[in-house]
Amino acid sequence: MRQHRVETVWPAGERVMVAVDAHRRSQHLLRRGWRRAQSSQSGLLAVFVETPAWERASPEQRRQLEDNLRFAEDLGAEVLRIQGSDVAEALVQVAREKNVASIVIGRPHASTLHRLLFGSIVDKLLRLAHDIDVLVVAHHEPNSC
């Protein structure tokens, strides 16, 4: 009997995945993901990709990340902290492994020039996740979360 690897998302048991980082806006993203998961009766997955640059994170950034991950757990999300050098590739890999139907991610906050020169995580994610819905959420002021 030959085994076949499934390269697309299966419709049964789908999940909503939220890309979490060390910014307060991640809690807004988690709320959006939670609402989407509730409306589609899906599971919620919160993922933080720890890149080599994370070693230089400030104590405040580390505290904010822990707050965000606790918030995700409070919403009932499965929380994953994974290591990777490329955030978009790591997110897509997890999405395929965990049968994710949609990814929620924040709009890039880099300048337009920086995005044109170097690209953004969101741009790459959109290219790689061609069979997964990607919801790019606008920035909100801290008081509007």
- Give the domain ranges of the chain: 15-138
Higher-pLDDT residue of 14, 3:
14
Contacts of 70 (CB under 8 A, 6+ apart): none
The CATH number, out of the four listed (1.10.1520.10, 2.70.150.10, 3.30.70.2190, 3.40.50.620), of the domain defined by the range 15-138? 3.40.50.620
| Residue 119 burial (10 A CB sphere; 0-12, 13-18, 19+) | middle
3-state secondary structure of 129: coil
Query: Are the C-beta atoms of residues 31 and 104 closer than 8 Å to each other?
Result: no
The pTM of the full predicted model, rounded to 2 decimals, is 0.82
Model pLDDT, residue 109: 66
Assess whether pLDDT exceeds 60 at residue 108: yes
pLDDT, tens only, 52-88: 999 999 999 999 999 999 999 999 999 999 999 999 9
Higher-pLDDT residue of 14, 92:
92
